[in-house]
Amino acid sequence: MLRWTITFIIIALIAGFLGFGGIAGASAGIAKILFFIFIVLFVLSLLKGLIKK
């Protein structure tokens, strides 16, 4: 999932540099959502690992 986030960030940066505002905004929004989902899953896996021990 982190790979998808990085992919959408790169797409947003390239599209923003080339002046495609709509595509850049959409890609940045998707990257932001995927990043927060990744963070939540990471924290949950950390908590699960701590509880098992």
What is the token pair recorded at 17? 């540099």
pLDDT of residue 21: 72
Which pLDDT score is estimated for 18?
Answer: 79
pTM: 0.63
- pLDDT tens profile 1-53: 668 778 877 888 888 777 777 777 888 888 888 888 888 888 888 888 888 86
- Give the pLDDT score at 1: 62
